[in-house]
Every structure is written in structure tokens, then in C-alpha cells.
Amino acid sequence: MDVKGSASVIGAGSSGLLFAKRAAELGVGVRVYDQKKVLGHPVRASGILSISGLDSLGIEYKHIVSNTIYGAKIYAGNEVMTIRSGKPQAHVLNRLRLNELLAQKCTDLGVEIERGRKVNAEQLDRLSDSGIVVGADGFNSGVARHFGMVSAGTHVLTYREVYFTDDVEELDMVELFFDNRICKGFFGWIAPESKRTIEIGIGIGPEHGNSKEAMNRFKRIGRVMEVLKKCRFVDGGASVIPLSLRDRFTDDDKRVLLVGDAAGHVKPTTGGGIIFGGSGAVMAAEAVKNYFDGNGRISDYERMWRKQFSLDMKLHSVIRKVYASLGPAQLSYLVKAAKLLGAESFFSEKGDMDRPSVMLKRLFANKA
Ligand SMILES: Cc1cc2nc3c(=O)[nH]c(=O)nc-3n(C[C@H](O)[C@H](O)[C@H](O)COP(=O)(O)OP(=O)(O)OC[C@H]3O[C@@H](n4cnc5c(N)ncnc54)[C@H](O)[C@@H]3O)c2cc1C
């Protein structure tokens, strides 16, 4: 089922590789370029993914799961809210192994991946003359810049560190810290990656300073100090998470589309982008196949994506703006009130990490 036409994917992160895999399955000719020789290295992001989201990506991932999460402890001011489900909610995946797994799937399908190849502006023009260009080149997308796809949106600066330990207290729980004196505009976290490793991380709005300094403040919180006493530093570094959509992420005339972080397909509450980005990438591959078959436009992908995910993106965005605007006393009060109203058991039973709209439906169904 060879399809007339080819796509050049710039970036072999999870989104670019998921696009390439699906497009190749559909018979589209694909070539992937990444500036890195070792894909995904160095790792600067976590790999906590909802199980329902992971299952929807259509990859066999079980052998790269390093931990399984059942819930979260949320610290806000003086309050702690514990959400623990009877069922596993999320898996922690090793990000390097996820990249390798996806790259191998692509190679098995005949996709060529050129590693260590940074694509420049002149090459982008050549590639778009001969086929479709897929910008999967992350937050600071050169493809988006080159083809005039702007982002008026916001982002957070992150810092993440990984530690060895012999003593992970609760392997199946993540801890989240909401304190606008330390990480204004986002949050801090402690997450067990495996039986022997934990990671700590923070995000901060760019207008509130630098992420390394925010990390140093975070490491002075009593609970974080207590955990780090038993740990040995392995690695750490800064990165960025986009928190809003590009104004547009397809251009029919220039035959360009963006996927993943390049498009801003990330949950603004948690910064999770693998599921959102990956689902969009699969949708994009299907639109590209239809385009080459003469049955659709590249922008069908944008239309379908907005139809499916816009409401959830907006809800995530509103939730983040609310908590970003609250001081410690107000956050404590909010969490205390939520606990009194039964939020712990509601989230434990009916929470949905990816889709607040699904959770709202469950809430209203409860009340009916
Ligand atoms: C601290 C942190 C924690 C996170 N935690 C989670 C989490 O727990 N769960 C989750 O789902 N998401 C998480 N995310 C978000 C997630 O990491 C991203 O959404 C995801 O990696 C986006 O994938 P991508 O393929 O779109 O982009 P990227 O992973 O950024 O890949 C872009 C690729 O493009 C390549 N590239 C760039 N420019 C060029 C060029 N000119 N030529 C060739 N190649 C180029 C880069 O080398 C890179 O490999 C986290 C992010 C951070 C920073």
C-alpha cells in the first residue's frame, strides 16, 4: 500500500517517532532527522504516563516500565491531600529506553533515522519542496520559526535531578508540592523512578526567576531534605515545558505541520506531553496519508486535534492559572475545603490525569 509522497520529520523525540511509526504503517515514505547522535540524551524530563494514555498509543511498552504509581500526596501550605487509587494509575518509563523502543519500531518499518544531523533553514526549504515537513523539534522549534508559526504562549522553566537510594519510602506514590514562594506558576515533585532511583524536580514561570535557584529553594523544604539525606546525586539539568498551543500548527500552502512540544501539545497543569503529543502525532500521520491519497488537507489534522483536545487544554490551563494565583494560606484553605467536600475519595476513585473534561462528566454523573 505505497502512498505517493513523503514526509521529512525534524526531531526524533517521542512525538516525531510516533508520527513516523504511524505514517510508515500507513505506507507513507518517512525520513527522520535528529541533531543528537544518541536520541533523547541527556535525559532532562520525567516519564510518568497515565496507563490509559499509554495504552492508547498502540506500543508494546511493558518491558520498559521502571515503576507503577497508584496515587499522589499533594502538599499545599499546611495541608496534605492524599489521593490513592485501588488500581495502578500511571507507569514510570525510562525515557532513553522509550526513545530506543520507538526508534526500533520505526526502523523495523523501513523508516530511515539520520542521527547527528541538525537540519538548517536552507535544508528545510529543500525538504518542503519535495514533500511534507513535520516539525517535531521540541519547544524551541526552528521549523515553526522558519515557517512563521508563532507562539504567543507561555512556558515554564524546569530543573530535575536524579538520585540513587536504598530506601524509597513509598514506591507507588508521587509527592507534589504547591508553594508559590518556591516554584511560582508550577510545582515541585518527588517521584520514585524505580526501586533504586528517585527524581526531584521543579517548574517555575519564566517571569519568576531561574529554575536552578528555585531547585535550591525546593531542596531546603523539610520533607525534601529528609528524602535527600538518604540519596546520592546521579545527574541533573534544566529544560523547558511549553504550556500553550501555537496559534496554528499546520500550513496547507507551505506543506508543514508541527507535532508534540513544537505545537504546544502539553497539559498545562502537569507539563505532560508524551500522551498529548503522541496522540496528536498519530492523528497527524493519518491526515498526511489522506492528503497524499487526495482525500484531505494537512489542516484536517489541526481541525481534528482542536475538536478532540481543545476543551481539555482550556480546562488544564484554567486550573493552572487558579493555583498559580494563590498564596500559601489560600492554597491551604482551598485544599482543606476540598478535603471536607470529599475530594480525596472522588479523585481516588474517579480521577483522570489526562482529561479533566472526563472527570467533570464523572462528577456531574455522581450528582445526578
Ligand atoms: C522536567 C520535565 C518533566 C516532564 N515530565 C513528563 C512526564 O512525566 N510525562 C510526560 O508525558 N511528559 C513529561 N514532560 C514533557 C515531555 O518530556 C515532552 O512533552 C516530550 O518530550 C515532547 O516530545 P517531542 O518529541 O515533542 O519533543 P522533544 O522530546 O523535545 O524532541 C525534539 C527533538 O528534536 C531534535 N531537534 C531539535 N532541533 C532540531 C534540528 N534543527 N534538526 C534535527 N533535530 C532537531 C532534538 O534533538 C530532540 O531530539 C516533561 C518535560 C520536562 C522538561
Domain of 295, CATH number, reads 3.50.50.60
Across the range 240-249, mean pLDDT stands at 94
Closest residue by CA, ligand 1 atom 52: 45
Task: Say whether both 258 and 368 belong to one domain.
Answer: no
User: How far apart are the C-alpha atoms of 21 and 220, rounded to whole Å?
Assistant: 44
Task: Say whether both 84 and 198 belong to one domain.
Answer: yes
Task: Say whether both 205 and 309 belong to one domain.
Answer: no
Last residue of a domain, one of 317, 338, 357: 317
The per-residue pLDDT for 335 is: 87
- Average pLDDT in the chain: 92
From edge to edge, which strands make up the β-sheet containing 256-258?
112-115, 29-34, 6-10, 132-135, 256-258, 250-251
The per-residue pLDDT for 363 is: 59
The per-residue pLDDT for 263 is: 97
Across the range 279-295, mean pLDDT stands at 97
Across the range 213-233, mean pLDDT stands at 96
Q: Angle 103-105-110 (CA atoms, 0-180°, nearest 5)?
A: 95
Measure 76 CA to ligand 1 centroid, in angstroms: 29
Measure 261 CA to ligand 1 centroid, in angstroms: 6
Task: Say whether both 127 and 27 belong to one domain.
Answer: yes
Q: Are strands 173-178 and 71-76 parallel, antiparallel or unpaired?
A: parallel
pLDDT digits (tens, 9 = 90+) for 336-349: 888 888 888 877 77
The per-residue pLDDT for 359 is: 61
Q: Which protein residues are within 6 Å of ligand 1, measured from CB? A: 10-16, 33-36, 44-49, 118-119, 136-138, 142, 158, 160, 201, 239, 241, 260-262, 266, 271-275, 277
pLDDT digits (tens, 9 = 90+) for 317-340: 898 888 888 888 888 888 888 888
Total domains, the chain: 2
| In a domain? residue 1 | no
CB 118 within 8 A of CB 169: no
Domain residues for 163? 48-56+65-92+155-242+326-368
The per-residue pLDDT for 322 is: 87
> Which atom, in ligand 1's list, is nearest to the CA of 15?
25
Q: Ligand 1: which of 36, 239, 241 to mutate, most ligand atoms within 8 Å of CB?
A: 241
Measure 156 CA to ligand 1 centroid, in angstroms: 14
| In a domain? residue 83 | yes
Task: Say whether both 361 and 267 belong to one domain.
Answer: no
Task: Say whether both 78 and 162 belong to one domain.
Answer: yes
Across the range 67-94, mean pLDDT stands at 93
Q: Residue 195 has what DSSP assignment?
A: S
Closest residue by CA, ligand 1 atom 38: 137
| In a domain? residue 271 | yes
Per-residue burial over 182-191, b = 16 or more CB atoms within 10 Å of its CB, e = otherwise: bbbbbbbbbb
The fraction of the chain above a pLDDT of 90, given in percent, is: 77
Task: Say whether both 261 and 330 belong to one domain.
Answer: no
Task: Say whether both 87 and 101 belong to one domain.
Answer: no
Closest residue by CA, ligand 1 atom 17: 45
Across the range 276-281, mean pLDDT stands at 95
The per-residue pLDDT for 366 is: 58
Task: Say whether both 270 and 299 belong to one domain.
Answer: yes
| In a domain? residue 26 | yes
Q: Is the pLDDT of residue 362 over 80?
A: no
Task: Say whether both 205 and 233 belong to one domain.
Answer: yes
Task: Say whether both 33 and 100 belong to one domain.
Answer: yes
Closest residue by CA, ligand 1 atom 25: 13
Task: Say whether both 200 and 73 belong to one domain.
Answer: yes
From edge to edge, which strands make up the β-sheet containing 48-50?
48-50, 90-93, 65-69
Instruction: Give the CATH number for residue 220.
Output: 3.30.9
Based on the number of CB atoms within 10 Å of its own CB, is 355 exposed (0-12), middle (13-18) or buried (19 or more)?
buried
> Which atom, in ligand 1's list, is nearest to the CA of 241?
53
Closest residue by CA, ligand 1 atom 31: 13
| In a domain? residue 141 | yes
Q: Is the pLDDT of residue 368 over 60?
A: no
The per-residue pLDDT for 41 is: 95
Measure 26 CA to ligand 1 centroid, in angstroms: 25
